[in-house]
Amino acid sequence: MPQIEQLAATYSSQIFWLLVFFGFTFFVVGRGMVPKVMDTVAQRDKQIADDLLAAERARKQADEEETAWRTRENANRAEAQGLIAAARARAASATEERLAAAQAVIDGKLAAAERAVAEARRSASAEIEDVAADAAHDIVSRLAGLTLDNAVVRSAVKENLVHG
C-alpha cells in the first residue's frame, strides 16, 4: 500500500510541524491569553470581595442607624406616654374639681330642702297642735260644759301627741 509506505518518509516532517504548531499555540494561548484571562478573573474576584465588604459595612451602618432610630423612637414614645399621663391627670383633676363644685351645690340644695322640710314639719306639727287644741277645747266645752284655760288644753294635747 502506497499510503503506508509514505508514512515513514513524511512521519518526521509531520511531527516537526506538529511540534511547531503546538509550540506556537502554547506560547500564544498559554503565555499571551491565559494571563489576561487570569487577570480578569482575579479582578472580578477582587471586585466581588470589595463589593461584599462594602455591603457588610453598609449593613453594619444600617444596623447602627436602626438601633439609633429605635432608641429615639422609644424615647419619643416614652415622652408621649408621659404627656398622655399628664393630660389624663389634669383632666381627672379638672373633673374632680367640677364634681366637687357640683357636689357642693347639690349639698347646699339638699341642706336647704332638709331645712324647708323640717320647717314644714314643725309648722305642720304646730298647726296640728293648734287644730287639736281648738278641737279639744270645743269638745270639752260642748260635752262637759266646762271652760278650760287654753294653756292647759294645749299642754294636755302636746303631752298626748308626744306620748301617744
What's the CA gap between 137 and 157, in Å, rounded? Answer: 10
pLDDT per residue of the chain (164 residues) written in tens, 0 to 9: 566 777 777 778 888 889 999 999 888 888 888 889 999 999 999 999 999 999 999 999 999 999 999 999 999 999 999 999 999 999 999 999 999 999 999 999 999 999 999 999 888 888 888 888 888 878 888 888 777 777 877 787 777 777 75
Contact 148, 134 (CB under 8 A): no
pLDDT of residue 129: 81
**Is there a domain that residue 145 lies in?**
no
Which 3 state secondary structure label does DSSP give 103?
A: helix
What's the CA gap between 31 and 38, in Å, rounded? Answer: 11
**Is there a domain that residue 135 lies in?**
no
Burial class (CB in 10 A: 0-12, 13-18, 19+), 132: middle
> What domain range is 118 assigned to?
2-122
3-state secondary structure 35-57: HHHHHHHHHHHHHHHHHHHHHHH
The pTM of the full predicted model, rounded to 2 decimals, is 0.43
**Is there a domain that residue 133 lies in?**
no
**Is there a domain that residue 108 lies in?**
yes
CA atoms lying within 13 Å on the CB side of residue 135:
7
What's the CA gap between 96 and 103, in Å, rounded? Answer: 10
The single-letter DSSP state of residue 70 is H
- Per residue in 24-45, is it b (16+ CB within 10 Å) or e — as a string? eeeeeeeeeeeeeeeeeeeeee
pLDDT of residue 164: 58
pLDDT of residue 1: 58
Per the structure, the count of domains in the chain is 1
Query: Could you give phi then psi for residue 144, rounded to 5 degrees?
Result: -95, -20
**Is there a domain that residue 76 lies in?**
yes
**Is there a domain that residue 138 lies in?**
no
